[in-house]
A and B are shown apart, each in its own frame.
Chain A
């Protein structure tokens, strides 16, 4: 790992100041992706801003029709939160399926979505639950936030403050984890609201997380296995690697969608 300047901050204002004064900065929250990346010298920031001590980023709020999670809340805190378990149990179980217990004690929701790994779990929850991502400057709808591979709408001087998830009538997240890393080889987050059925997919597309509109339309007509079985994900643009080629992966997405539907009917 190349060396860097380490700055531990206590307020969002301090982060903004450091971001405006320095180039080549990276935000450190839990570091479970960033530190391994720096160890491999795939990232070499000159300044690392540690936001883990900012109190105003560490909270879980129940707003009635939605829940808001601060960006430095760890996966373990989400999965063991009474509010999340009660209001959106599928989100608690998603958090419990990330990495392993030690990683979940450090890794954060803000880090996961800001990184936008194409096989990460949280981005599906954001898209499926119509999340609003609050930054230090503005509020961004999830659909506008995730742009592509490891790419988000975040500007250079912007950090994730919190994520607000709408509470669905019911929801289910099903993933086929890579047996070694536990990242999704295919993950499908299905949410049912009064006026919409949302289906978000991770682990599959070369462009990262996406909403599977054909499946949404089919399930909006009737939430049934028959309707789900009629829709197949095309393997065009689906990732292909040593773990799974694109046809196999596309099929995994179909199966995860069926399991998610099965879980809700």
Chain B
């Protein structure tokens, strides 16, 4: 099996992976980073979103071997110790979650949106959330949380 060297949340890791192993399964099953979720497993729901070299990608639609030599950030890596990331803080303050299943992907997507788009408004946020589904349909507060975090 190929060996991959991946930096996950600031930590250099070396591991053997099967060629066909998806990045999301490497993170969850091998690295015990179960914050990244598998929702639809068909590239639609965005529950598995992580950052690859700082950009949001769907970890269910990527092989672990493709991440060799790259930096990955998962939901576990965004807080600074006990201090939540501003986007996490905003989701808590504005009740941006109901069941919470989509939340890790929503937060990773939100950080990416805020990084890329300097002047966010509600319309842009809703368009940018194209790749993230909330089956509780809790979008009102998710959008509110992202706008609040962007204005911090």
Q: Which residues of A contact B (CB under 8 A)?
A: 1-6, 8, 28, 31-32, 35-36, 38-39, 48, 50, 52, 76, 99-103, 105-106, 180-182
| A102-B19 contact, Cβ under 8 Å, with A35-B62, A50-B66 | no
> Which stretch of B36-44, B71-79, B81-89 is in the interface?
B36-44
Contact residues in A for B46 (Cβ distance below 8 Å): 100, 102
0/1 string, B26-44, CB within 8 A of A gives 1: 0000000000000001111
User: Cβ of B20 and Cβ of A102 under 8 Å apart?
Assistant: no
Question: 5 A-B pairs, CB-CB below 8 angstroms?
Answer: A6-B65, A32-B61, A102-B49, A103-B131, A105-B52
Nearest B residue to A106 via CB reads B57
Nearest A residue to B117 via CB reads A101
User: Cβ of A101 and Cβ of B65 under 8 Å apart?
Assistant: no
- In the complex, A36→B45 CA distance in Å? 13
User: Cβ of B65 and Cβ of A8 under 8 Å apart?
Assistant: yes
Contact residues in B for A3 (Cβ distance below 8 Å): 18-20
B130 CB to nearest chain A CB (Å): 4
Q: How large is the interface on B (under 10, 10 to 19, 20 to 34, 35 or more residues)?
A: 20 to 34
User: Cβ of A101 and Cβ of B112 under 8 Å apart?
Assistant: yes
Q: A28-B66, A103-B43 are in contact. List 15 more A-B contacts (CB 8 A).
A: A3-B20, A35-B63, A36-B42, A36-B61, A38-B20, A76-B55, A99-B130, A100-B46, A100-B131, A100-B132, A102-B109, A103-B58, A105-B57, A106-B62, A181-B44
User: Cβ of A101 and Cβ of B61 under 8 Å apart?
Assistant: no
Contact residues in A for B109 (Cβ distance below 8 Å): 101-102
Query: Most A CB atoms within 10 A — which of B22, B41, B46, B57?
Result: B57
- In the complex, A11→B112 CA distance in Å? 31
| A6-B2 contact, Cβ under 8 Å, with A31-B63, A180-B44 | yes
Contact residues in A for B65 (Cβ distance below 8 Å): 6, 8, 50
User: Cβ of A106 and Cβ of B20 under 8 Å apart?
Assistant: no
Q: Which residues of B contact A (CB under 8 A)?
A: 2, 18-20, 22, 41-44, 46, 49, 52, 55-58, 61-63, 65-66, 68, 109, 112-113, 116, 128, 130-132
Contact residues in A for B44 (Cβ distance below 8 Å): 180-181
Contact residues in B for A103 (Cβ distance below 8 Å): 43, 58, 61, 131
Nearest B residue to A38 via CB reads B20
B20: contacting residue among A1, A36, A76, A105, CB under 8 A: A1
Nearest A residue to B105 via CB reads A102
Nearest A residue to B18 via CB reads A3
- In the complex, A101→B43 CA distance in Å? 12
User: Cβ of A101 and Cβ of B62 under 8 Å apart?
Assistant: no
